[in-house]
Structure 1
Amino acid sequence: MNNGEIKEIALKQSAEDIGCQAHDFLSDKNVIVPFCLGKNARKYYKEPIICNFVSYGSNIVVATTKDVSDLVKEYIGKFEFYHCFETPNMHWLNDRLLERGHKVCFMAEYYLPDVNKIPDAECLYETHILVQEDFKNLYLPEWSNALCKDRSHLDMLGIGAYDNGRLIGFAACSADCDEMWQIGIDVLPEYRQKGIASALTSKLAKEILNRGKVPFYCSAWSNIRSARNAAKSGFIPAWVEMTVKPADVVDEMNS
């Protein structure tokens, strides 16, 4: 699988996630479509979703419900598309959304692998490939980025690093969509800054590609440690998203 094929798969998945066409993300003009969560959308997307802003770097595509479509149109026409994902401009949108009972909720940056840059990184510790049946005793707080107990049936594959038989680092992937598996990584605090995270992430990325799936990675913009790991593991920024949800849903998350 080459980089072009990987991007094409990602574009099609993003289109399925919000209800647009894959080529919409490549236009030099902004696009607004009615929000429609496809039947093959990423498994962790949960309605209600009022609107979702997505950019692959050429424009902004927004899938929106009717009740805020006028705000969305005004917002993306008022500011450069890349400024729509940041403050202070985002406050313009959020203030107006609040009047209608909604708030900006999730913001994230997504990464895809550059198949020519995934390193053959050696881990300082012994590593082993793990499969679903090996995960049953690993749904613990220390591995909460690698595994998700609520969606355990989607956790497909992992690579663990061991120090004298003790699991000290763990990368795993979730089959969040049919052709793309998302990587999460955890390393115990006392073992960080030793290249374990990037070694496990890059090894897992290759294992995923060998199985004919596209590995992808997600981080908050402020999570520098995670972003550095993505870069060291051969992943490059591919797209960004900003999701709007009802205010009571956001407030519940903060309670």
Structure 2
Amino acid sequence: MERFFIDSIIKKYLAEQFFSNLSVLEEDSTTFTINSLSKSPYIKIMAFNKCVIINTSKSIHSKVKSALSNKSRDEIFEFPFIYGQTIHYIPDVKKIQKVELLEEYTYELLQGNDIYKLRGIEGFDNSIVFDCNGNTSTKIVFLAKKDDEIVGLAGAGEETEKLWEIGVDVKSEYRKGGLGTKLVSNLTLDIIKQGIVPFYSASITNLGSQMVANRSGYIPYWIDTYGNILDGSSPYNIYVKNLEL
């Protein structure tokens, strides 16, 4: 898979997610866009290369633009009405490679309907989640077992037809042995072989997850904040509810 193909898929995805034109992603600028789908007050901020995109609902667009125009990137990401930041990684096509698996585990690769035999599994919320109807957006899973117990699992959910997001979970007693890296590295190549672009996400506070990304051959590509709906449901609402936007 060529880097230009990964770039084109990711950029198209970002433009759609932030209601922006593709050309904006190449600019050294701060751009304000409107989320036409959000009925509640909403804000999400993204940094990619030299550009920053601030996406809001129409109801607060003018006030946010007034507050953040002519601000630096750091000042924008310190805005009190946002919380949580995520680093998103793409595979480095020059470094990603199949890695030797740990001999103390057995492994399974599941795809399609085979994934549904994992219904009811708990403790792997970063890699696979089933909704109340027993459905999941996870398209492929690579798991490790110890004595027939699933102890580690990497899964990829569909964001678009050509873009899947990888997540990984390893039970606490089996961490720090490199299992997470092995699962992510090998699953990444299985996804790439299908012509799909995988990406990996980690909270800026989760150093362990960031290390897995790095060791698995991933490089940071963009950062964004959580998409915050300012309807009183924020855990920090008590601190900001009396502030005027």
Report whether the alignment pairs 1:119 with 2:103. no
CA contact (8 A) 1:172 1:185 kept: yes
Match of 2:21 in 1: 21
Match of 2:56 in 1: 64
Q: Which amino acid in 2 is paired with 1:133?
A: D
Report whether the alignment pairs 1:237 with 2:220. yes
CA contact (8 A) 1:121 1:198 kept: no
Q: Which amino acid in 1 is paired with 2:16?
A: E
Match of 1:36 in 2: 36
Is the alpha carbon distance of 1:26 and 1:173 closer, same or farther for their aligned partners in structure 2, counting shifts above 3 Å?
same
Match of 2:109 in 1: 129
Q: Which amino acid in 1 is paired with 2:122?
A: P
CA contact (8 A) 2:162 2:197 kept: yes
Match of 2:208 in 1: 225
2:171 aligned residue (176, 179, 188): 188
Deviation of 1:164 (Å)? 3.4
Q: Which amino acid in 1 is paired with 2:118?
A: N
Gaps in structure 2 of 5+ consecutive residues: 239-245
CA contact (8 A) 1:185 1:197 kept: yes
Higher mean C-alpha deviation, range 139-148 or range 67-76: 67-76
Q: What TM-score do the two structures reach when normalised by structure 1?
A: 0.82
1:200 aligned residue (183, 193, 199): 183
Q: Distance in 2 between matches of 1:145 and 1:253?
A: 26
Local SS of the residue matching 2:180: helix
Match of 2:241 in 1: none
Report the count of equivalent residues. Answer: 232
Q: Distance in 2 between matches of 1:14 and 1:47?
A: 21
CA contact (8 A) 1:36 1:63 kept: no
Q: Which amino acid in 2 is paired with 1:28?
A: D
CA contact (8 A) 1:123 1:195 kept: no
Higher mean C-alpha deviation, range 150-159 or range 66-75: 66-75
Give identity over the alignment, percent: 24
Match of 1:213 in 2: 196
Deviation of 1:47 (Å)? 6.7
Q: Distance in 2 between matches of 1:75 and 1:121?
A: 49
Question: More helix per residue: 1 or 2?
Answer: 1
CA contact (8 A) 2:129 2:136 kept: no
Q: Distance in 2 between matches of 1:36 and 1:211?
A: 33
Local SS of the residue matching 1:14: helix
Per-residue deviation, residues 157-189 of structure 1 (Å, max 9, x unmatched): 111112233322110111122221111111111
Q: Distance in 2 between matches of 1:8 and 1:25?
A: 11
CA contact (8 A) 1:18 1:36 kept: no
RMSD, matched Cα: 2.4
Q: Which amino acid in 1 is paired with 2:110?
A: L
1:108 aligned residue (86, 90, 107): 86
Local SS of the residue matching 1:176: strand
Higher mean C-alpha deviation, range 68-77 or range 184-193: 68-77
Per-residue deviation, residues 208-245 of structure 1 (Å, max 9, x unmatched): 11111110111110000111101111111111112331
Local SS of the residue matching 1:162: strand
Q: What TM-score do the two structures reach when normalised by structure 2?
A: 0.85
